[in-house]
Structure 1
Amino acid sequence: MHRMTIPGLVEAAAARHGERPFLTVDGTRRTYAQTRAAAATMAGALAARGCRPGTRVAALLTNRVELTDLVLGCAWLGAVVVPLNTALHGRLLRHALDEARPQFLYVEQELEPRVEEVGYAGEVWVTGSPQAPVPGVEAALDPYPSRPGDTAAVLFTSGTTGPSRGVRCPHAQFAWWGRNVADSLRLTADDTLYSCLPLFHTNALNTLVQAMTVGARVVVDRRFSASRHWARAAETGATCVYVLGAMVPMLLAQPPGPGDRAHRAWRGLGPGTPGALWEPFRERFGVTLVDGFGSTETNLVIGSVPQECRPGYMGTVRDGFEARVVDAGLSHVPDGTPGELVVRTRREHAFATGYLGEPAAEPGAWRRTGDRVVREPDGWFRFVDRVKDRIRRRGENISSYEVETALRAHPDVAEAAAFPVPSELAEDEVMVAVVPRAGRVLDPAEVARHCAGELPVFAVPRFIDVVEELPLTETGKVRKSVLRERGVTGGTWDRCG
């Protein structure tokens, strides 16, 4: 079995760490040896239900042991897991299922009505039902001899100019994520990793692989709670935590208390942390946040280590990767000049192989990121903004295209534009400008209610401007830079107001 596959990692970790604790999720605790047994018998349970190597199995599950079992069981069997954002419903859920075309769907009981609503035609397993696959019931299988470049998972990421896209993530990409982030955070077998981020995202999924890489323990909670975060870190014995940029100001906004430092955590992965909040966070909570650049399609290309952080900077290029800053024509720009970040890897299968429905990406090719950055003369990279129209809110990437599509489905909306405006919690808030159809009157509150029925909660616009027309270029494209510059005005409707 190849060591750069997920079963290879599970086998090696079980052989080396055996009875050491590995995973705590949803009240279930497992050692490394128990995790190997669960993966092998979950593969047997999946095979008994008709899964085969290459079969796609989607999941609409929150952070619970059924999801971790499914991820590892699919990898053991050679099947492909497709974890879906649990906020998806209606049109967007249907789109993801149409793109991935899974043969099976494992759904949480409370979320089953959403699956029925979209008319999914494959086989459905509901948590707690007799049909649901459970490790330990069927005989254990030997691991399928997957290759490092074989697809282990399809993860959906929001596009900037079109619908969400499924990314084909190979086994070795996860193995490299584990190595690179473990090295960046200086993880060891003595560490306990605490994450409350969703397991359908790259960040949380790769926490499992980081722990396997070094023999650490990982604790996964159901969801983030600003008021309980440090108490949970203390209860779990965490030495490393995982936060997104928007979580940092939320934690700092909590009333100071003795629990702020009554924990063992001393560093954390905190991509997108505003530079001005980095030192206050470390001073108050005793945690050094390590930033970096990585995406569902790539890996930890740029990063730092706890001993060498620079507030507001992503870090420097990691070994085995390359990064450049280019202009619109993809020509290199001088240090100190903003431009788009493009990246490539010299590590075999460290990047995703491409999007569903597209040919495999050429190995070693430069990948565009859509992020606007600055490279300083000493090699440190600083994030500036997004090149196109992506909006990032509370750790979620939101496609303006999808927001606009939902708005245009309203019978009284003629045209719409979605764009980001600054949030008091870091990252962005969603703002839209809508043009009513001739002779119609738009009520912003009713528009927001319409969006709530079409979009995940994190994508529902907070700010709505009803305007007579949108600013257009000579070729008829919306000049979103004008809308962003104007931003929130006294006449803007605020859903939180």
Structure 2
Amino acid sequence: MPRDTHAVPRSLPELIRKRAVERPEHPALVVDGITVTYRELRHRAASMGADLRNHGVSRGERVAALSGNRIELADLVLGCAWIGAVVVPLNTALRADSVASALEQAGVQRILVSPEYSVAVTGFDGTVWVMGEQYVPTAGSHPGCEPETLDPLDLAAILFTSGTTGLPRGVRCPHAQFLQWGKGVSASLGLTADDVLYNCLPLFHTNALNTFVQSLWSGSTFVLGQHFSVRNHWHEVRRIGATVDYLLGAMVAMLMNADPSSQDREHSVRVALAPATPTHLIEPFAQRFGVELVDGFGSTETNLVIGTLPGNRRAGYMGMVMSGYEAVVVDNGTAVADGEPGELVVRTTVAGACSQGYLGDPIPEPGSWIHTGDRVIREEGGWFRFVDRIKDVIRRRGENISGAEVEAVLALHPSVSQVAVFPVPSDLAEDDVMATVILRPGRDFDPTSILDFSQIHLPYFALPRYIDVVESLPLTETGKVQKAVLRARGVGSQTWDCEKSEFRARR
């Protein structure tokens, strides 16, 4: 029997098929200079899915990718979803040891890489497909197949996000979670089928992946850029006719720091999703560029739990609890009164709207509370305001960085005896990474040597900007470093600043 195209989609393949019927010739995706209509998108998903099967990929299998924003990566996401495989897109800034750890965690036996990243998988003993070579699964190389009939709780992706105590951890993301992201953010931004969504963040990141689903949900057009450039950003959004933009707080700050231009408002963007934007930049940005900035709370592990709707926003606030979710502010497990800071804990009443937890952990029971590690305040009336992060996680340029992981690397340097890593405020919003070190006896302080050593093991965004040398670290009675004391001390007159040196990180 023919499928009911009016039914609410329960998986990504169902959503793709629905849009292909409703808007066959409307542009769905633009990437690498290639424009793909919704009809063609369905064909590419079916063709890639069939070719993956032809290469031995089965339902439930994890297939990784290490690539920039290319059409082949988009095809892999679509093809895996089509046949019920699980895509595992990896951060291209990860070094070989982190890549190996992620592949092992996820149980990956096959990976698709673009040529410039093939060195990162040199030691991988599974199947490596290099884009552009023969015998690589490719959309269009097969006439296609029918999609798997999937349950909303079936996994669509495993996304790696930095934890607080070591290497990145894989988050199990089901189809239902992506669909709820599409539904919730589409409502928050007021998306319509006529919108053009522009996102230049990497497709391995939950931000860009969910933008793709938002465009599918609203029937609009998703334009995937290559990278963010202050100089070219507004030129690019003008060129493509974007109406919706996706920024991070640091990107907002950089755009505001650029010289004013008579072309600042010569574009069609009306709204931008811009989490972590400093409050003092929201109104000036709107006045200068004519773009409304929208905040909210969501994470790879959760969804758009706290947000706003058009016409009901407050500068400096993440918003209110969205339909289908619950949120409580707690201190030591006890709810605090409105106006008091505490940790944000959240849960959903919609099956699959949040992740299924981390690889290696038991799948949480439905309705389980999720501890976010974020310190927030709920004010009277239900509006939530972000305060800071509780856990030892540093947020820099859209990436979560584990302070413990950075400490583990710096501690291996022959000059370093002890080290503590923590966030300090950045002039571009979010955080910068600061390290306070105790040197080994008889060793001189050579910060360039420390960073040269560190970037062998760490992605560039995790390298410390600031380094202090001290005689001792402030400790608690139980021997733990009091990082709150270090954060309060912050950058001093004797602090070494990477950005004022000749050191350049490899990217």
Q: 1:334 aligns with which of 327, 332, 337?
A: 337
Structure 2 residue identity aligned to 1:286: G
Which residue of 2 is the match for residue 17 of structure 1?
A: 23
Structure 2 residue identity aligned to 1:280: P
Distance 2:78 2:471 in 1: 53
Q: After superposition, what is the alpha-carbon deviation per residue over 1:275-306, rounded to whole angstroms, capped at 9, x for unaligned? A: 00000000001000110000001000000124
Distance 1:403 1:452 in 2: 10
Asked if 1:138 corresponds to 2:142, the answer is yes
Q: 1:35 aligns with which of 34, 37, 41?
A: 41
Asked if 1:216 corresponds to 2:220, the answer is yes
When normalised by structure 2's length, the TM-score is: 0.96
Secondary structure at the aligned position of 1:40 is classed as helix
Which residue of 2 is the match for residue 382 of structure 1?
A: 385
Secondary structure at the aligned position of 1:435 is classed as strand
Offset at residue 444 of structure 1 (A): 1.4
Q: 2:258 aligns with which of 242, 254, 259?
A: 254
Distance 1:459 1:120 in 2: 24
Is this contact kept in 2: 1:282–1:288, CA < 8 A?
Answer: yes
Distance 1:90 1:138 in 2: 33
Q: Could you list the structure 1 runs, at least 4 aligned residues long, displaced by more than 3 angstroms after superposition.
A: none
Secondary structure at the aligned position of 1:125 is classed as strand
Offset at residue 495 of structure 1 (A): 0.6
Q: 2:9 aligns with which of 3, 8, 24?
A: 3
Which residue of 2 is the match for residue 47 of structure 1?
A: 53
Paired residues for 1:81-480 under 5 Å: 81-116=87-122, 119-327=123-331, 329-480=332-483
Structure 2 residue identity aligned to 1:247: M
Is this contact kept in 2: 1:60–1:107, CA < 8 A?
Answer: yes
Q: After superposition, what is the alpha-carbon deviation per residue over 1:335-369, rounded to whole angstroms, capped at 9, x for unaligned? A: 00010000011111100011111111111111100
Is this contact kept in 2: 1:45–1:137, CA < 8 A?
Answer: yes
Question: Comparing 156-165 with 104-113, which one deviates more in the overlay?
Answer: 156-165
Question: Comparing 409-418 with 356-365, which one deviates more in the overlay?
Answer: 409-418
Is this contact kept in 2: 1:371–1:383, CA < 8 A?
Answer: yes
Secondary structure at the aligned position of 1:363 is classed as coil
Offset at residue 388 of structure 1 (A): 1.5
Secondary structure at the aligned position of 1:233 is classed as helix
Offset at residue 163 of structure 1 (A): 2.6
Secondary structure at the aligned position of 2:272 is classed as strand
Offset at residue 114 of structure 1 (A): 1.7
Question: Comparing 310-319 with 156-165, which one deviates more in the overlay?
Answer: 156-165
Offset at residue 94 of structure 1 (A): 2.2
Structure 1 residue identity aligned to 2:172: R
Offset at residue 440 of structure 1 (A): 2.7
Distance 2:15 2:454 in 1: 43
User: Percent identical across equivalent pairs?
Assistant: 55
Distance 2:105 2:411 in 1: 22
Is this contact kept in 2: 1:43–1:73, CA < 8 A?
Answer: yes
Structure 2 residue identity aligned to 1:161: T
Distance 2:384 2:456 in 1: 40
Distance 1:376 1:490 in 2: 38
Offset at residue 434 of structure 1 (A): 1.5
Distance 2:472 2:456 in 1: 25
Is this contact kept in 2: 1:421–1:428, CA < 8 A?
Answer: yes
Structure 1 residue identity aligned to 2:62: R
Q: Which runs of 5+ in 2 are unaligned?
A: 501-507
Structure 1 residue identity aligned to 2:199: S
Structure 2 residue identity aligned to 1:249: A
Distance 2:444 2:102 in 1: 33
Which residue of 2 is the match for residue 58 of structure 1?
A: 64
When normalised by structure 1's length, the TM-score is: 0.98
Q: Which runs of 5+ in 1 are unaligned?
A: none
Distance 2:370 2:298 in 1: 12
Secondary structure at the aligned position of 1:355 is classed as coil
Distance 1:106 1:67 in 2: 8
Structure 2 residue identity aligned to 1:382: R
Offset at residue 62 of structure 1 (A): 0.5
Q: After superposition, what is the alpha-carbon deviation per residue over 1:461-480, rounded to whole angstroms, capped at 9, x for unaligned? A: 01011222221111111111
- Aligned residue pairs, count: 494
Which residue of 1 is the match for residue 505 of structure 2?
A: none
